[in-house]
Amino acid sequence: MTPAQKQHLLALARRSIEQGVQTGRPLQHRESDHELLNPGACFVTLNLAGELRGCIGSLQPHRPLAEDVVDNAFSAAFRDPRFPPVSARELPALDIHISILSPTQPMHFSSEQDLLRQLRPGIDGLVLQDGQHRGTFLPQVWESLPTPEDFLSHLKRKAGLPAHYWSQNIRVERYTVESIP
C-alpha cells in the first residue's frame, strides 16, 4: 500500500467519525482508487490521551477495503459497547490507527506447548475459537502482553474461557497486519 493510500484511508476514517458526530451515520463514500475497492479486512483502533477509546474490525474480507475502514471507524467510535459514543469535544485529540489484516492461516499444533512454541511475538495476530467461544488479539497486543503464555491466556479470557483452559477442540488462526500509521 502506498503512503498516499494510507493517508487516504486515515482521512476516510476521520471523516466517517466526524460525520457520525454530526449526523449519527457513517460517511457515504464512493472510492476511486481501484486497489481500495478490492475486498479487505481491517480493524480501526481509537486512542485518546494514550488510552483505548474504541476498537472494532473485520477478520475476513467481505467488502471493499475503503468501505471496511469507513464502517469500522464509525463502529469503533459509536458502537464499541465498552465505551460511550465519541463526542465532538474528543475529535481533535482522537488518535486513529488502522490495521489491515492479511488472510488468516490455520495453525496446526499437537498441544498448548506446541502452539506456544509456534507463536511469533510482535508479528502474529490470533483468532482463537472453541465452540461458541471466540476472540482475537491484533499483533499490537504483544506490546502489553509480550510472552506467548500471557498473550494466549489473556486471549482465552477474552474469548470467554478460563486462562488455563485447554481442549483438543481449540482452533487457532494467525494473521499479520499492515499498520497505518
Residue range 123-145, pLDDT digits in tens: 999 999 999 999 999 999 999 99
| Averaged pLDDT of the chain | 96
Torsion of CA 135, 116, 101, 99, to 10 degrees: 80
The answer to the question of residue 112 being in a domain is yes
Please state the domain count of the chain. 2
Give the chain's largest Cα–Cα span. 52
Q: Give me the half-sphere count of Cα atoms (radius 13 Å) on the Cβ side of residue 157.
A: 7
- 15 & 76 share domain: yes
Helix axes 3-23, 65-78, angle to 10 degrees: 40
- 124 & 95 share domain: no
Per-residue b or e along 131-151, where b marks 16 or more CB atoms closer than 10 Å to that residue's CB: eeeebbbbbbbbeebeebeeb
The answer to the question of residue 181 being in a domain is no
- 82 & 113 share domain: no
The parent domain of residue 38 ranges over 3-101
Quick count: other Cβ atoms within 10 Å of Cβ 130?
19
Q: Please state which of the ranges 31-40, 57-66, 162-171 shows the lowest mean pLDDT.
A: 31-40
pTM higher than 0.75 for the full model? yes
Residue range 1-28, pLDDT digits in tens: 899 999 999 999 999 999 999 999 988 8
3-state secondary structure of 152: helix
